[in-house]
């Protein structure tokens, strides 16, 4: 199905609503991603003969979500072509190599906008908006799958929904935002963790929330590093909409594990490269450490962080204990990392990082990662966010 030809790819479709404003969305699930294939939502002029104008939107090959197809501006419209057409805006693609997600297509008058989100995300991501004309003649909406190799493709669509009078998406707001008061701690427990999102790229990590405790178990080889998302799970929430805040959490490990890290994380929220994330907590068996990826370096250990302009501190301290409390203090563009342990009086300062808009840190939470075959387990408790400072 290409070049304004209908060809042999199947489409299951229905007439579009008789309205200028409507939205269609569907969930997809694939047993595996397949090269030289494309599946997802389809917007079609209903013609079985040339010119067949069809735009399809969904998982393309093995590593992207794409909008592509044929319409009056070009019979061969990939994402790059769509981006160049007059009136269109957006990249019409994003990196995504997993097998599950949600697709959403919204029409408002002569504009069609394409959105995507992964199963753990609460916010939709916009791929682009294109301008259509009566020449396109789009009259049907549904879903499709196509291949241009000898390998078959399989996909399951569910919860297909059409909503008239609805366009675009509403920004989802964490409920805890409405409870924030300067100087008053927000301790997350039970249902209040519904503001958090569980990001588990491999889908085989474990977490359980019981009251104010979060237990995580992560298999060996689940890392995050070098500006790549990797397979390490993260349980995170949007950062408070404040210039100044404090976040802290207690950790308890049954044992310290070599070539692992468990602790707090600040993250730019991206599931595709560049992933900027700094993680802070018990590392290997004998240190508490800050490390990760930021705009200055994709491979930032404590030594590298200490050398970046505007930063201060050593970003690690010797410690082989299995319990403690971690704290991150944000003030303006800076993030300060501190530690409290049972055998040391008061807080130990590990260092301060000067962030920039390029880092894009917008999520905060807990993570565990390994870069060996050995699994790691940790229980976090009393995760607290305090807007402003302590009274």
Q: What is the pLDDT of residue 23?
A: 97
* 157-170: average pLDDT: 95
User: What percent of the chain shows pLDDT beyond 90?
Assistant: 88
Q: What is the DSSP letter of 207?
A: E
Report DSSP letters for 236-295, one per residue.
EEEPPSSSEEEEEEEEE-SS--TTEEEEEEEE---SSSS--EEEEEEETTTEEEEEEEET
Q: What is the pLDDT of residue 340?
A: 97
Q: What is the pLDDT of residue 378?
A: 98
Q: What digits encode the pLDDT tens for the residues 125-143?
A: 999 999 998 889 999 999 9
* 323-337: average pLDDT: 97
Q: What is the pLDDT of residue 170?
A: 87
With bands split at pLDDT 50, 70 and 90, how would you rate the model's confidence at 319?
A: very high
Among residues 275, 233, 362, which one has the least CA distance to residue 96?
Answer: 275
Neighbours of 320 (CB within 10 A): 11
Q: What is the pLDDT of residue 323?
A: 98
Among residues 250, 274, 282, 278, which one has the least CA distance to residue 266?
Answer: 278
At residue 235, does pLDDT exceed 90? yes
3-state secondary structure of 99: coil
- When comparing pLDDT for 156 and 184, which is higher? 156
Distance between terminal CA atoms of the chain? 64
Q: What is the pLDDT of residue 243?
A: 92
* Tokens linked to 179: 């409870």
d(CA 9, CA 56): 12
Name the class of domain 11-164.
mainly beta
Q: Where are the alpha helices (DSSP H) in the chain?
A: 79-84, 302-307
Q: What is the pLDDT of residue 389?
A: 66
How far apart, in Å, are the Cα atoms of 210 and each of 40, 191, 198, 234, 316? 37, 10, 15, 17, 31
pTM above 0.75, yes or no: yes
How far apart, in Å, are the Cα atoms of 78 and each of 69, 84, 246, 305? 6, 10, 45, 41
Query: What is the three-state SS of 165-182?
Result: CCCCCCCCCCHHHHHCEC
Q: What is the pLDDT of residue 390?
A: 57
Q: Where in the chain is the domain with CATH 2.60.120.200?
A: 11-164, 175-387
3-state secondary structure of 348: strand
* 300-304: average pLDDT: 96
| Residue 40 CB burial class (10 angstroms; 0-12, 13-18, ≥19) | buried
Q: Are 315 and 297 in contact (CB under 8 A)?
A: no
Q: What digits encode the pLDDT tens for the residues 177-225?
A: 999 887 889 999 999 999 999 999 888 999 999 999 999 999 999 999 9
Q: What is the pLDDT of residue 203?
A: 87
CATH number for domain 175-387, candidates 3.40.605.10, 3.40.50.300, 2.60.120.200, 3.40.718.10: 2.60.120.200
Among residues 335, 336, 333, 365, which one has the least CA distance to residue 350?
Answer: 336
Q: What digits encode the pLDDT tens for the residues 87-106?
A: 999 999 998 989 999 999 99
User: What percent of the chain shows pLDDT beyond 70?
Assistant: 99
d(CA 333, CA 239): 13
With bands split at pLDDT 50, 70 and 90, how would you rate the model's confidence at 72?
A: confident
Angle at 253 between CA 249 and CA 257, to 5 degrees: 120
Q: What is the mean pLDDT of the chain?
A: 95
d(CA 91, CA 192): 35
List all residues 6 or more positions away from 299 whose beta carbon is below 8 Å from its beta carbon.
225, 226, 293
d(CA 277, CA 274): 10
d(CA 205, CA 318): 28
d(CA 51, CA 88): 22
* Tokens linked to 180: 């924030």
| Residue 299 CB burial class (10 angstroms; 0-12, 13-18, ≥19) | exposed
Report DSSP letters for 308-323, one per residue.
STT-BS-SEEE---SE
């Amino acid at each position: 199905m290409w070049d304004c030809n209908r060809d042999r790819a199947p489409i299951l479709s229905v007439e579009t609503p008789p309205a200028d404003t409507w939205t269609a969305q569907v969930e997809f699930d694939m047993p595996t991603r397949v090269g030289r294939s494309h599946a997802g939502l389809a917007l079609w002029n209903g013609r079985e003969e040339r010119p067949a104008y069809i735009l399809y939107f969904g998982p393309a090959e093995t590593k992207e979500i794409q909008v592509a197809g044929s319409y009056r501006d070009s019979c061969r419209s990939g994402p790059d072509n769509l981006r160049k057409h007059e009136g269109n805006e957006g990249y019409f693609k994003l990196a995504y190599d997993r097998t599950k997600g949600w697709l959403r297509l919204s029409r408002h008058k002569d504009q069609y906008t394409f959105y995507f989100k992964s199963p753990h995300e609460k916010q939709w991501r916009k791929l682009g908006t294109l301008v259509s004309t009566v020449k396109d003649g789009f009259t049907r909406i549904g879903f499709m799958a196509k291949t241009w190799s000898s390998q078959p493709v399989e996909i399951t669509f569910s919860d297909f929904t059409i909503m008239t009078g609805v366009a675009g998406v509403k920004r989802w707001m964490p409920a805890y935002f409405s409870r924030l008061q300067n100087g008053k701690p927000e301790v997350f427990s039970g249902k209040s963790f519904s503001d958090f999102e569980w990001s588990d790229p491999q889908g085989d990590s474990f977490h359980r929330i019981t009251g104010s405790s979060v237990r995580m178990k992560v298999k060996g080889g689940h890392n995050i590093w070098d500006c790549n998302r990797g397979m390490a799970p993260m349980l995170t929430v949007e950062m408070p909409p404040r210039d100044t805040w404090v976040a802290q959490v207690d950790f308890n490990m049954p044992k310290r594990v070599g070539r692992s890290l468990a602790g707090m994380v600040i993250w730019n929220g991206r599931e595709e490269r560049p992933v900027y994330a700094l993680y802070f907590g018990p590392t290997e068996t004998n240190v508490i450490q800050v490390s990760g990826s930021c705009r200055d370096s994709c491979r930032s250990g404590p030594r590298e962080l200490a050398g970046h302009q505007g930063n201060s501190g050593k970003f690690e301290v010797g410690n082989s204990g299995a319990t403690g409390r971690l704290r991150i203090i944000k003030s303006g563009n800076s993030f300060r990392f501190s530690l409290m342990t049972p055998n040391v009086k008061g807080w130990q300062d590990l260092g301060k990082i000067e962030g920039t808009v390029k880092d894009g840190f917008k999520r905060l939470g807990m993570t565990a990662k390994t870069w060996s075959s050995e699994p790691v387990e940790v229980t976090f408790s009393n995760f607290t966010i305090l807007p402003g400072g302590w009274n």
